[in-house]
Chains A and B, each alone.
Chain A
């Protein structure tokens, strides 16, 4: 094990060391180094095409990195499918476009993975699912199909579906970007509740209010590089880098 891990007080949940990624000739991620402790809440932001989504999609290997190391809760992501599937069991992900399974009811969406991956009995899986659906405040929709719900409700179901696997880490890839403005709050409230319970979270988002109230650190990416990393207050009030200042001036009018 490299020294970097042992120096920190506890073993980090997420460790990225010198991660590089290319799409053909295009260098998407350049030397990303990141260490996230258990219970930490990180917000990633940056201009479109900066590589922030790619970065978090590397963490459960929906994207492959070509250089460097990614270690999730002690398991390194390599080509080994066993490792990849082990990591995916522990890492929940919420997508911009929800990606609920439209042919299954809300309840079945939530019980599918616990039953087929965790080998959980159906009744127990349904109890767990109802618990999390209550947590995101839509237990009454359990027997409806995703197509019958509003965008905000669908995204909350997607959060509940990920939580049913009882993950140690939650990744959010622009969870509110596809929502109508009046539905953004219900999803953000759910995420704040999750943060208060001590979940380790990585969010790609431009919701700066959310970043201020919830995040321990805000990371700014541009052109595939981590340009600036700071506590939210300092990040927003006193950005150091020129590119961060420009970005913030564009999104906060």
Chain B
């Protein structure tokens, strides 16, 4: 029999046809959005003209004329606003990347600890999580900055480890390496050692599959990684020249410094986000049916292997989506840097640059699209990973 889909509708009107209605509403929605967009654009243009503000991105080439406390690329006051933007972007990325890595490690540790059968460990993890996820992140940043970092002793009373590391209210000072005469040989040795370790782990995997015996890769990797570069140093002398921090007058010069704003911001964001990640990890592990543990244990798998081979791989598919939004939160919360004057993109570009140039629309548009780009990149990466580990059913 012929399907009825093509048959003429008996006595229906266009108004009661769901398909026709769907089209109508979509057309109306498009018209409304276009009209609103046009109104906003036209309104802005008119107002800018009235006030005599020239729009455009040429201001980015103008000289900035202010210094920045932390810049990962060369920067001085004569550089352009465009370079300020890059400095701010790199500072934002620095905090986000360090924060994401540390928060993930700490979060997984805490999540597993909260499920530990050991009463003390699980209670300690619980207390940590309940405290830090229930205090606003800006307050935590203030705490680490004002109550901890700025309360450290001044440069002359620095806490030091030997004559190499110094911690004081102006930051953490450490030796800075720069390539010396023997750098080429040393770098070569490091690369060879890394390749050696990769070959070793491949061989060890093949051997495990062939003979069932596990070879502890670290047993070969540690001598390789220490031995080869060590040999290069013995043969060719010191590969790196270290610039040591030293107290000259009232402050330290030389070496690298982690400014207190960076340390406070990274610490606060890591500790705050780790508490949420820990809860994601815990719920992910608990979402795996207890029967899985029983099946693995009844096959003779010890507790650690059960967790690693059976529970975590299944828990990951529950953990990844909320983990993604924690990463996004951390990247976006890094803009709270403005509160303590860490020179991130918001405080530098959407703050100082905007104030100096008055190019509000351009500056805000650039800043927003950069955050959008960062967030979308994180999302895409995590979605790709999530798809890779998804369960296959049907």
Assess whether A183 is interfacial by the CB under 8 Å rule: no
Are B300 and A117 closer than 8 Å at their CB atoms?
A: yes
Are A116 and B291 closer than 8 Å at their CB atoms?
A: no
CB-defined contacts of A92 to chain B, threshold 8 Å: 298-299
Nearest CB in chain B: distance from A142 CB, A? 14
* Cα A214 to Cα B1 with chains together (Å): 54
B309's partner among A88, A116, A158, A161 (CB-CB below 8 A) is A116
Give the segment of A25-33, A97-105, A195-203, A220-228 that binds chain B: A97-105
Interface residues in A229-244 by Cβ distance below 8 A to B read none
Interface residues in B18-36 by Cβ distance below 8 A to A read none
A102-B391, A113-B299 known; A121 vs B309 contact (CB < 8 Å) = no
Are A99 and B393 closer than 8 Å at their CB atoms?
A: no
Are A117 and B392 closer than 8 Å at their CB atoms?
A: no
Assess whether A123 is interfacial by the CB under 8 Å rule: yes
Nearest CB in chain A: distance from B217 CB, A? 16
A97-B291, A101-B292, A103-B313 known; A91 vs B298 contact (CB < 8 Å) = yes
Assess whether A122 is interfacial by the CB under 8 Å rule: yes
Assess whether A210 is interfacial by the CB under 8 Å rule: no
CB-defined contacts of B393 to chain A, threshold 8 Å: 102, 145, 147-148
A118's partner among B212, B214, B295 (CB-CB below 8 A) is B212
CB-defined contacts of B209 to chain A, threshold 8 Å: 121-123
Closest chain A residue to B212 by CB distance? A119
Assess whether A112 is interfacial by the CB under 8 Å rule: yes
Closest chain A residue to B313 by CB distance? A103
Are B297 and A99 closer than 8 Å at their CB atoms?
A: no
Besides A122-B208, A123-B210, A147-B394, 5 more A-B contacts (Cβ < 8 Å) are A116-B309, A122-B210, A147-B392, A158-B295, A161-B299
Residues of A within 8 A of B (CB): 60, 62, 81, 85, 88-89, 91-93, 95, 97, 99-103, 112-113, 115-125, 145, 147-148, 158, 161-162, 165
Closest 8 CB pairs of A and B: A147-B393, A99-B295, A122-B209, A113-B299, A119-B212, A99-B291, A89-B300, A93-B298
Residues of B within 8 A of A (CB): 208-214, 289, 291-292, 294-302, 305, 309-310, 313-314, 389, 391-394
